[in-house]
Structure 1
Amino acid sequence: MKNLIYIIFGIALIGSLSGCDDLSESNTTLEIIDNNRHYYPVLRGQELNVIFTLKNTGTKPFVLNDMLITCGCIVPKKSSIRSIPAGREGKLHLIYNSNKNIGFVEHHIDIYGNLKEDEKITLVFDVNVVPEGLYTKDYEEVYKEARKEAGIDVKEMVDGDESNKGFYLDEDF
């Protein structure tokens, strides 16, 4: 009687495992809705919520394997899009922190999964990060002000006299 129970249990286990599909082996296609976005300028230090909509246009479910991001200033919520059923849409939530950038920045997010044609798809967005109303000085401006405060003239900083060229030509030898 015990052997019969073990045999029935073994057959049921094998039958249940053979019905499982390995979704990572079945390839599908994704469509990025509104890719290559250009966001309005943000002040440095502000966060920007970026939400991409991905549509599974294939017949198999999409399973996310990995996500590579070009900047540490973008934090993804990977749990927002672990898989997308066939014919459905999924939303990828990203939070962009503008503290680490200034000026025009373009970011690329590579999505890896069970894709048919390519091994990855790339999401792209850009934004202009502007400094606060108080102007941020660059190195040259800070250095020039420090020289002016110390009363140092440019001529005093140069070794030699004005006739010293500071360079040479081939004909000098």
Structure 2
Amino acid sequence: MTKLEQLLSQYAAYHLDHKNIITHFIGIPLIVFSLICLTARAGAVVSGFEVTLAMVILTASVIYYLSLDKIFGLIMLAVYVLAYPLAYIVAQWSMAAWLSASIGIFIVGWIFQFVGHFYEKKKPAFMDDVIGLAIGPLFVLAEMVFMLGFRKDIEQRMLEEARKQRAMMDQKVKEPVNV
């Protein structure tokens, strides 16, 4: 099993309910977009070119995603290239409008996340492992690719392992705690 499959499986173990996955299709992009908006306002001019904190974070995340999988990394790069200009426009609004929009989008995104986890009856993955915050966007992308009929071999291995991990998580909940 590749590192990508391990990380997706670990994340998927908390996301086996289709209602939860659907809410993540809305929540995670909203959260990521809001974070790009928030960080696109901070920056510096380097050799006549403005470099924002958002660019640095997005570049680092794309490098990480590319290290896990070239195809998913390139698709994520394309998504970020499309999202960044809009986020940069939001970052240029007045302070009040920028903060209100960015924080509002962030809150709405998290509402969708928590509604999904209500259906799942599991806490978000990042509560057990902070890497879930970085894997969430990749998981949503992977789920979209799987729904389109691509990379089904990865999906099959991911789901098989996720179900095993979920069964172990559920078993731990049922075991009595000895003090």
- Normalised to the residue count of structure 2, the TM-score between the two structures is 0.24
TM-score normalised to structure 1 length: 0.25
- Higher RCO, 1 or 2 (CA under 8 Å, sep at least 6)? 2
Instruction: Say which structure is richer in strand.
Output: 1
Q: Which has the larger radius of gyration?
A: 1
